[in-house]
Copies of this chain bind each other. A is one copy, B any other.
Amino acid sequence: MRIVVLAGGIGGARFLRGLQRAVPDADITVIGNTGDDIHLFGLKVCPDLDTVMYTLGGGINEEQGWGRAEETFHLKEELAAYGVGPEWFGLGDRDFATHIVRTQMLGAGYPLSAVTEALCDRWKPGVRLIPMSDDRVETHVAVTLPADGSGSGERKVVHFQEYWVRLRASVPAEAIVPVGAEQAKPAPGVLEAIAEADVVLFPPSNPVVSVGTILAVPGIREAIADAGVPVVGLSPIVGDAPVRGMADKVLAAVGVESTAAAVAEHYGSGLLDGWLVDTVDASAVERVEAAGIRCRAVPLMMSDLDATAQMAREALALAEEVRAS
């Protein structure tokens, strides 16, 4: 079975681990979000690609869900001692190596997709990991920063990482723009993998800044819609709140309420064939199905690998239902 998964960071990576457990022999291609990539200290950092690679390759810090296990932060401490920031982005000593190798290869002329493949030669994640695009796409967020005492705050456009990590989504996102997406081309292999897929899955990743950014690369949404295979997603919203992260903040920016049903409608029946909501959101099933999307309520908490594998099985079962209908 050939499965294509559109993945963001932590949620996508953990779902993928469950998927591998559920169907060990499946041929899985992961199309990774690169909209939250950032240049730091002259290095190209790809947080979502790395989270997938480290998680599936056994190098992840399990507790925090990102970064490397057995990590130290001496380099970062020293940069701070030099007065060189930003300090709010947590790059560990081991993690730095990935960014140094990537930056050197990019500088030598390799596209990001080839670099990612080379990095995965070490990590052997058991999936084919392809960045959504070799072109630079950078998610920016328009915010109004609180004023210091006086009346009106400062309107500003910040990098997604600055919004997410530094500001911790503490102010409303007024607009979210994947800068460069319109001019970006899907990376080599992306459209081919979709065309050859037996099923396409949207893990419980952020529907705006993860899956949404991937879909913003011209050609990817169309390829999925045209593939003629079941497209099934899992809600990242459980009981009207994000399972993790701050998806509600960015959903508000695109005018979507933070409910499992609203996210399904946001993707739309033109793209999505099936949708899994959590059992606490069973009342949403009717609304989703009314929107033309087959829907089931099953436990959606990735509390451990078994629970996550079961979610993957449910998604694949729903895909088979779609296919048979």
A41 in the interface, Cβ–Cβ < 8 Å?
Answer: yes
Within 8 A of B (CB), among A81-101: 81-84, 92-94, 96-98, 100-101
A103 in the interface, Cβ–Cβ < 8 Å?
Answer: yes
Contacting A42 at CB < 8 Å: which of B75, B76, B98, B103? B103
Which of A43, A74, A122 neighbours the largest number of chain B CB atoms within 10 Å of its CB? A74
Query: Which residue from chain B places its CB closest to the CB of A76 in the assembled complex?
Result: B97
Q: Would B75 and A97 count as touching, CB distance under 8 A?
A: yes
Residues on B with beta carbons closer than 8 Å to the beta carbon of A81: 97, 122
Q: Is the interface of A mostly helix, strand, loop or mixed?
A: helix
Residues on B with beta carbons closer than 8 Å to the beta carbon of A26: none
A78 in the interface, Cβ–Cβ < 8 Å?
Answer: yes
Q: How far is the CA of A119 from the CA of B81 in the complex (A)?
A: 10
Residues on B with beta carbons closer than 8 Å to the beta carbon of A82: 97-98, 101, 119, 122
Q: How far is the CA of A55 from the CA of B101 in the complex (A)?
A: 30
Q: Would B97 and A78 count as touching, CB distance under 8 A?
A: yes
Per-residue interface assignment for chain A, residues 141 to 157, with 1 indicating a CB less than 8 Å from any chain B CB and 0 otherwise: 00000000000000000
Residues on B with beta carbons closer than 8 Å to the beta carbon of A96: 75, 78, 93, 96
Q: Would B75 and A93 count as touching, CB distance under 8 A?
A: yes
- Contact flag A79-B93 (CB < 8 Å), given A72-B74, A74-B72: no
A109 in the interface, Cβ–Cβ < 8 Å?
Answer: no
CB distance from A314 to the nearest CB of B (A): 37
Residues on B with beta carbons closer than 8 Å to the beta carbon of A101: 79, 82, 84
Which of A77, A96, A98 neighbours the largest number of chain B CB atoms within 10 Å of its CB? A96
CB distance from A4 to the nearest CB of B (A): 27
Q: How far is the CA of A96 from the CA of B83 in the complex (A)?
A: 15
Residues on B with beta carbons closer than 8 Å to the beta carbon of A92: 74
Give A residues with C-beta under 8 Å from B.
41-43, 71-72, 74-79, 81-84, 92-94, 96-98, 100-101, 103-104, 107, 119, 122
Q: Which 9 A-B pairs have the closest CB atoms?
A: A78-B97, A74-B93, A93-B93, A42-B104, A79-B97, A78-B94, A75-B93, A74-B94, A75-B97
A72-B72, A74-B92 known; 15 new pairs, CB 8 Å cut-off, are A41-B100, A42-B100, A42-B103, A42-B104, A74-B97, A75-B96, A75-B100, A76-B97, A79-B97, A79-B100, A82-B98, A82-B101, A83-B122, A84-B104, A93-B96
